[in-house]
Amino acid sequence: MKLGVNIDHIAVLKAARKVGDPDVLQAVFVAAQNGADQITIHLREDRRHIDDYDAKRIVANSPIAVNMECAFGVIDEVLKLRPFRATLVPEKREEVTTEGGLDLEKHFARIKRTVERLKEADIAVSLFVEPSKAAADLALRSGADMIELHTGRFSNLWAALYGVLARTPYAPNDLTALNGGDLKREIDREIKKIKKTAAFARELGLQVAAGHGLNYHNVAAIAAIEAIEELNIGQSIVARAIWTGFGVAAREMAQLIAACRPR
């Protein structure tokens, strides 16, 4: 199981003051020395955290593979930067973070063309999708190498049941109506969906990653799914880094994931 450490939230801190501190490139080296197999960054169209200067230095200097999340609007920049992999994600200006997977059916032609352009430039391609067999099928037909399964709903359900999410002002509306029993059942359903899709996609020959909202409490359920070979995790590692330091936080996540793998 590979761990992709997403360092966008270090860039969020940098963007809060706009004086170049903390340096995201330093985070790349610390993560690489502490169990990360890959660095994940999201070059957003509005450049609200990772900017072109960060992206260029990270791709040029990272000792480990760089996975760049991107929407259609930045593909020309990604083609120039040439990271190891591009993960296509949907993007909305007003969202706090990526809210869902790609609508492969609606945007199939554009996604297929984009996959072709990226692959011609020798950039591996992953598609961020909601867990479903239909999405895996379409991803294969698009020519992508990999799918990344969106674990956002699983993570939100988990946070509503075991954390404080349901009591906060930003609790998703569909979660506040659910009681403890409902949440448990929904979590089980979501895990089954992720597991089935991962196994199906792997049978098709796709590589399978997962990510979004994973943390030290909920990651075991996803890391235990054999067909998933990579997790991309950011916010929880950077949040823990405030208390432990970034290196310790990355290492603890890498060790936790390794301990949860099926033997």
| Identity of the residue, 185 or 255, whose beta carbon is nearer to ligand PXP in the bound complex | 255
Max Cα–Cα distance, the chain, nearest Å: 50
Task: Give the residue with the Cβ less far from ligand PXP, 72 or 182.
Answer: 72
Catalytic center residues: 42, 69, 212
Q: Helix axis angle, 246-260 relative to 24-33, nearest 10°?
A: 40
Are the CB atoms for 79 and 121 separated by under 8 Å? yes
**Which residue's structure tokens are 């200006």?**
93
| Least Å from the CB of residue 42 to ligand PXP | 5
| Residue (of 195, 230, 225) closest to 211 by Cα position | 230
Instruction: Sort strands 146-150 and 85-88 into parallel, antiparallel or unpaired.
Output: unpaired
Kindly report the backbone phi and psi dihedral angles of residue 12, in degrees, each rounded to the nearest multiple of 5, phi listed first. Answer: -65, -40
The least CB distance from residue 12 to ligand PXP, in Å, is 10
CB of 166 to ligand PXP, least distance (A): 18
Residue with Cβ nearer ligand PXP (148 or 186): 148
Cβ proximity to ligand PXP, 69 vs 130, nearer residue: 69
Task: Report, in Å, the least distance between residue 215 CB and ligand PXP.
Answer: 8
Backbone region of residue 38 per phi and psi (left: phi > 0; alpha: psi in -120 to 50; beta: other values): beta
Kindly state the smallest distance separating residue 249's Cβ from ligand PXP, in Å: 12
Closest CA to 75 of 125, 39, 148: 125
Q: Which residues bind ligand PXP (CB under 6 A)?
A: 6, 8, 42, 69, 87, 89, 97-98, 128, 148, 211-214, 232-236
Tokens of 250: 């990355």
The Cα 173–Cα 206 span in angstroms is 34
